[in-house]
Amino acid sequence: MDVANLRGPFSPAEVDGFLDDAMIPMRLATVGPTGWPLVVSLWFLRHGDEILAATRPTSTLVAFLNQEPRCGFEIAGDDPPYKGVRGRAEVILDDNAGGPVLELLLMKYQGDLSSRLAQTLLARASDEVCLRLRPRSMVSWDFSARMSGTTEGSP
């Protein structure tokens, strides 16, 4: 990931590896016209210097991003040792890439396109919108070393 403003222990190559290997959803935060935030979880994949996701064009998320394309995002697991990447990005909505990106997401998270979920989603894939996140700043963290001596239930 080529982000000019990258902080934290991960190198750009380590950020790429983390994003490529992560099998967890991305949390995406936007602000709507009323000023209230919206946080959604989305499957994602890294494609070069972008983070891609897909959603329905009628979603509240798309409505918010049409009004304000800036967002915050976080990709981090809920289980120790805690590590992850968060940042700020500008989102470009791409009406032409939603279907192909959805197929890639299904392959990443489901392993194939034959499941009932995959078939349901693919039936309307031509109407999906691709979210192209272009990170402007990112922060990584990795608490593995300082958590290495802990056991479950200990403080």
User: What are the mean pLDDT values of the chain's consecutive 10-residue runs (155 residues total)?
Assistant: 82 93 96 92 96 95 96 89 92 93 92 85 86 96 71 48
Question: For residue 155, is it within any domain?
Answer: no
Question: For residue 111, is it within any domain?
Answer: yes
How many domains does the chain contain in total?
1
Beta strands 70-76 and 50-55 are unpaired
pTM over 0.85: yes
Strands, E assignment, the chain: 5-7, 26-31, 37-42, 45-47, 50-55, 70-76, 83-94, 129-142
Question: For residue 76, is it within any domain?
Answer: yes
- Domain residues for 63? 5-143
Question: For residue 87, is it within any domain?
Answer: yes
CATH of the domain at 77: 2.30.110.10
Question: For residue 52, is it within any domain?
Answer: yes
Question: For residue 150, is it within any domain?
Answer: no
Q: What is the pLDDT of residue 150?
A: 52
